[in-house]
A and B are shown apart, each in its own frame.
Chain A
Amino acid sequence: MKRHLRLAAVFVLYAVVGVWGLLFSSIPEARAEYGDIVMNNYAEKSGMRPVVFPHWFHRMRFACKVCHADLGFKFKAGGNEVNMAKIIDGEFCGACHNGEIAWPVENCNMCHSGKPGTVTQVHGANGQKIIAAPVQGTAGTAK
């Protein structure tokens, strides 16, 4: 009898741990592709979904230098004040998404594909080691 109680207790414990685990494994950060960047300084405030920039997709086609030297993207998620006016003037994303090197800006949702509420940040791995601590340090501390 006692053993059954204990077993039941262990079972309940497992159930609780399980639900807890499920809750936390649904934290988006842990599942996003490594290096994906969410850009949401202005988009959602203006009624558009956040922008998701996939590094893996672009680095297969371009060296880092193309964007981070030639086009002037600083190494900081959200640190470049990118907006649509600059893009259609051929700056930042607009240097390629102009219908020549890549498809043009009319395809709003290809870029504005983010889940509402996702914040500006890089989805890397330094933050998902042991405890989900905000190691990223990207928020605030502008240099």
Chain B
Amino acid sequence: MIKNIVKSVIATSLFGAIVVSTATTVSAAPAPAAAQPAAAQPAPVTFNRLLKKASPTNLPPAEDGIHDPTVDSAQMLQPPLQGMNGLTRSNFGNNVNWVNSLQTKKVIPRWDRADPNAESLVMDVNIVRTPRGSMPDVVFPHKAHTEWLECSNCHPAIFVPQKGANQISMAAILLGQKCGVCHGKVAFPVSECKLCHSQKRAAAAP
């Protein structure tokens, strides 16, 4: 009890000293705590040295770097934030959770370009794959895919329709093959490991 109080007193006074001493380096005003030996100032240590700063997202067309801001249509095209307003948010890709937005009918994409009443042929079959190494199992949900895509979008060009018959690796995905044909391009980005590696490992690695 007493120890804790002492600790916190020491902590606060230390903290105070630090605050004061940093203040002195800025204002150069003599302060009592400046009696401390003036430590040499090393270059500040940075974190995430190689990580690029998160760039701003959902910019309006005139500011997004690929539209010509001087063309008349740059002002007529819809800004993404306005267009996707009201959809379920996420913090990756378009900053929209498309799976949830579709399930909650916040978007109702047409299944036929001219017929608003045509409905998708949804198949609710999950394929579970156990990756090499330690990562959690990958659950591939046919449902979330067949709400947007047709069987022929994947079978047989990208995947042979037989469980385990396809060699899939992260290297291939990152190069834009297999799941990476869509994920990282239009469907959610590969940085969201847990959306795919979503189930506790069932079996030991093969």
Which A residues are within 8 Å of any B CB, using their own CB? 3, 6-7, 10, 13, 21, 24-36, 38, 49, 52, 54-57, 59-66, 68-71, 75, 95-96, 100-101, 107, 109-110, 112-116, 118, 122-126, 128-132, 135-138
Given contacts A66-B110, A122-B186, contact A109 B55 (CB under 8 A): no
B19 on interface, CB distance cutoff 8 Å: no
Indicate if the CB atoms of B84 and A126 lie closer than 8 Å. Answer: no
B83 on interface, CB distance cutoff 8 Å: yes
Residues on the B chain within 8 Å of A52, using CB: 61, 66-67
Given contacts A33-B64, A35-B185, A123-B66, contact A3 B41 (CB under 8 A): yes
The contact of B174 among A30, A31, A34, A135, by CB within 8 Å, is A135
Given contacts A113-B68, A137-B176, contact A34 B94 (CB under 8 A): yes
User: Taking CB as reference atom, which chain A residue is nearest B61?
Assistant: A113
B184 on interface, CB distance cutoff 8 Å: yes
A131-B50, A135-B175 known; 4 new pairs, CB 8 Å cut-off, are A29-B65, A31-B64, A35-B186, A63-B149
Residues on the B chain within 8 Å of A129, using CB: 52, 191
Residues on the A chain within 8 Å of B50, using CB: 130-131
B107 on interface, CB distance cutoff 8 Å: yes
Which B residues are within 8 Å of any A CB, using their own CB? 38, 40-41, 43-44, 50-53, 55-59, 61, 63-69, 71-74, 76-78, 80, 83-84, 87, 92-94, 96, 98, 107, 109-114, 120, 147-150, 152-153, 174-176, 180-182, 184-186, 189-191
